[in-house]
Chain A
Amino acid sequence: MPMDESVRKAVLAAVPSLRAFAISLCGNVDRADDLVQETMLRALANIDSFQPGTNMSAWLFTILRNHFRSEYRKRRREVEDTDGHYADSLKTQPEQLGQVEFREFKEALSRLPADQREALILVGASGFSYEEAANICGCAVGTIKSRVNRARTRLAELLQIDGIDDFGPDEQTRAVLAGGGE
C-alpha cells in the first residue's frame, strides 16, 4: 500500500496524543497501544473517506473513540481498572506536583463516568475545541460543555476542594503548593 507522505507524517504525528487519549479511555498502556494500532489500520484502510483540509488528528481521534466504544466498552468492568495503570505509563512524576496529590488526582479521574472523562480529556488536555470534541463524540456542543462542567465539579468533589487552599490531601502538599505555585 503506497502511502502518501503527508498522510504518513500526519498519522505518525498524531500517535503520541492518540496514545495519551487511549490510555485515558481504557486505563491500560498495552490495550491503549493496541487500540492506537487498530485505529491506524482502520484509518489507512479508509483514507479515502478522510476529507483533505480537515483536521486529521480529530478524524483519528474519532476512529479511535468509536472503535473503543464498539469493541472495548462491553468489557468495561474488566477494562476500566484505571488505578495504577496510568502510573505505569509515566516515566516520571511531573515534578511540580506533589506525588500524593498527583496520585489522588489520577484516582479521582478514573472514577469519573466515561462520558465525562472523555469530554474533559478532549477539551482540557488534547486541546480540542468544544465543537471538535462534540464531533469526535458524536453529540451536541452543549452536551460536551455540560459533561466537562460536571467532570470538573465531580473531580473537585472527589478531591474535596473548593478553593486552592484546600487543594492537596495534606498539610505538607499544601505547603509545597503555596511555596512553589506563586
Chain B
Amino acid sequence: MQTTASKKSDSKPGKLGREVQARLGQQLRAMYDDVVSQGVPDRFADLLNRLEGNGNKDKH
C-alpha cells in the first residue's frame, strides 16, 4: 500500500509537516467536541433558574 503523505515538499526538517499538524488538530477537536456535544447539563440551567428565583420568587 502506497501513501503519498510523507513525500510532500512542505515537510521541512525540524518543523511539523502539514499532515501531522492536521492530524493532531483533528484529534484535539474530536476530544473537545465530544464534551461540547454533551450540551448543557441540567445543573447549570437549574443554577440560573435558582439565581433568578431568588430575586423573583413569585414568577409564574
Contact = CB atoms under 8 A, between A and B. Distances in A.
B44 A165 contact: no
Nearest to A34: B43
Contact of B55 (A2, A90, A97): A2
A109 B25 CA distance: 12
A97 B27 CA distance: 8
A163 B13 CA distance: 11
A20 B36 contact: yes
B39 to A, nearest CB: 6
A59 interface: no
A89 B39 CA distance: 12
Contact of B34 (A3, A37, A92, A96): A92
**Interface bracket on A:** 35 or more
A15 B16 contact: no
Contacts of B24: 105, 124, 152, 155-156
Interface in B24-53: 24-41, 43-45, 47-48, 51-52
A113 interface: no
Interface string A1-26: 11100001001100111011001100
Given A1-B54, A106-B31, A124-B25, A16 B20 contact: no
Contact of A125 (B5, B11, B20, B32): B32
Contacts of B55: 1-2
Per DSSP, chain A at the interface is: helix
Q: Point out which of B3, B5, B6, B24 has the most chain A C-beta atoms below 10 A from its C-beta.
A: B24
B9 interface: no
Contacts of B16: 152-153, 156, 162
A163 B19 contact: yes
Interface of B: 1, 3, 5-6, 11, 16-17, 19-21, 23-41, 43-45, 47-48, 51-52, 54-56
For the complex of A and B, the 9 pairs showing the least CB-CB separation, nearest first, are A125-B32, A20-B35, A164-B5, A94-B30, A164-B19, A163-B6, A16-B36, A1-B55, A105-B27
